[in-house]
Chains A and B, each alone.
Chain A
Amino acid sequence: MSALLEVKDLQVAYGSILAVKGLSLTVNQGEIVTLIGSNGAGKSTTLRTISGLLKPKAGTITFEGERIDGKSGHDIVSKGLCQSPEGRRIFPRMSVRENLDLGAFLRNDKDGIEADRERVLDLFPRLRERYEQKGGTMSGGEQQMLAVARAMMGAPKLLLLDEPSMGLAPVLVDMIFETIIKIREQGITILLIEQNAAAALEVADRAYVLESGLIKMSGKASDLAKDEAVTKAYLGG
């Protein structure tokens, strides 16, 4: 396995406050890697920095052997790094169709786009029913499906998912995690951020535990799920 994404000693600051204090992580081709941690640990900040929405203070981010830290967001998307952001952030006054179109904004391969459109609509049949409905009028679960589907329309090599289960009913949470496994089966590598550590550790191959801006622990997801400290802190055991 080769490293698709490599983050080394990443530091990110908001003004003078350091939110990420020297984080390193690796995502290999074909893996599901999860980054778990409590609220305010720096998970979303890390993901936003990888996507180029924030500039790192120090450290490197390498994607397919190429440095991408400090590059602008649209450059990074064009390399095949697509994110479904925290809070869904779908375009509320646009229909499902238009949202999906925007997911493929940088692509020119018409046939590929149409094939991917069918693929994500098969993955989330509900979106097919809501196809011409405005994003802002859909339920939270439907919006989450749209956010993931939209990210997949960018033909990602690496899909970044920020809290896809946040605020969803339990039955929808299960559905989202099942879908994450299906997405990986289609050959897409995934970096997943979650507060729902139990579910995340169940689907992931490897996991990192983030605490106040630093990686506290890392390893195989199944091992971490059994670890006493992790169980106590994140799994309510």
Chain B
Amino acid sequence: MSIFTSGYQARQLRRRYLERSLGTVAAFAILFWLTINFLKSPSQFFQASLIGLSNGILYALIALGYTLVYGIIELINFAHGDLFMLGAVFSANFITIWFGKESSGPSAWGVFFLCLLVVMTLSATVNVGIERFAYRRLRRAPKLAPLITAVGVSFCLQFVGLRWNGSGPKTWDTVLPAGAFHISGVSIDYTTLFSFAVTVPLLLLMSWIVTRTRQGKAMRATAQDQDAARLMGINVDRTISFTFALGGALAGAAGLLFQQTRGLTSYNLGYQLGLIAFTSAVMGGIGNLQGAVLGALLIGLIQGLNDGLPIGLGQQWSQTVVFSILILLMAFRPTGLLGKPTTEKV
């Protein structure tokens, strides 16, 4: 018995030692790769990081919607990416077709901010409606039922996008200021600055709502225990609706920003970016808000560095690199970077 135990313990120790040394080696390899790239061309390094971060912050807007909804009702809302797609298609129509704005200028920027307001409100409303009609009745059903419903809703939205936007990608003229300025070899697009200027306040507002307001308190309580939240006098249905509204609004904003920074819409954007955003949420620890933002920035950064550094695998390998890192991370930290399994006593 004792021999068995000590043999087992020794194996465990060896395994842990091996894992730790492998992790350390991997970390050093990445650090080494970053260092030689940095030394080779600092400006290219910063350029790639900047592109990565500006993609990442867009992923963050979408990832938050996945993580908010998962946090409160433990549902992977597959339709979320498609809501983002509809936001992008709507914005393109709103700015370019309905308001006829095709170039930058003060009045076009006014339309941009009007569109931001409208698309956020609209996406929030649609998301609340989806929850009300498709998910609410399934709240006590087996987990598979709402999951397959979400997949169904995703297809419905995708086909709305297909009818509206056509089967191929469409390109659009955008109204954000074109051009860039340069700081020692690094060129910073005005559109990048613009999307940071819109996204960062949204993220801060969001974190303020969740941590500081009464509604946020109700959200956190509902996420932890719905019945107990009811016993505190919290209107659980309304709190869940509010959560979907928040996630929807962020997806709408992301749609507008994507459309205006890339000048592109396509009915399957939700599948492409939605998957990346969902991956970010899982990487950061699904249900954890800071985790979703961290995961999104990391994935953006990984993509940016991999695509843009002089010594790297290049764009064709971008997704492979991202998902390999995800698989590795999941193997060692199944709860994600910031997700912590709490010890809950009953």
Contacts and interface: CB of A to CB of B under 8 A. Distances in A.
Given A94-B220, A136-B344, A89 B228 contact: yes
Interface in B251-288: none
A101 B217 contact: yes
A199 interface: no
B344 A83 contact: no
Interface stretch (B35-43, B55-63, B230-238, B318-326): B230-238
Interface string A180-199: 00000000000000000000
B234 A105 contact: yes
Given A102-B217, A102-B221, A136 B235 contact: no
Contact of B224 (A78, A94, A137, A154): A94
A62 B227 CA distance: 22
Interface stretch (A29-37, A69-77, A119-127, A223-231): A69-77
Interface in A142-197: 143, 150-151, 154
A89 B227 contact: yes
A29 to B, nearest CB: 22
B346 interface: yes
A74 B224 contact: no
Contacts of B236: 73-74
Contacts of A136: 342-345
B116 to A, nearest CB: 32
B53 to A, nearest CB: 30
A72 B217 CA distance: 20
A85 interface: yes
A120 to B, nearest CB: 15
A145 B152 CA distance: 46
A85 B227 CA distance: 9
Nearest to A83: B231
Given A136-B342, A137-B343, A140-B345, A91 B221 contact: yes
A105 B233 contact: yes
B233 A154 contact: yes
Contact of B231 (A73, A98, A139, A140): A73
Contact of B233 (A78, A88, A92): A78
A98 B223 CA distance: 14
Nearest to B223: A93
Contacts of A103: 232
A88 B15 CA distance: 40
Contacts of A140: 345
Interface of B: 214, 217-218, 220-221, 224-225, 227-236, 342-346
Interface of A: 51-53, 72-74, 77-78, 82-83, 85, 87-94, 98, 101-103, 105-106, 134, 136-140, 143, 150-151, 154
14 contacts: A52-B230, A53-B227, A74-B230, A87-B346, A89-B231, A93-B224, A98-B217, A102-B232, A105-B218, A105-B221, A134-B342, A137-B343, A140-B345, A154-B233
Given A101-B217, A102-B232, 15 more contacts: A74-B236, A77-B231, A77-B232, A77-B233, A88-B346, A89-B227, A92-B344, A92-B345, A94-B224, A102-B234, A134-B342, A138-B345, A150-B232, A151-B231, A154-B233
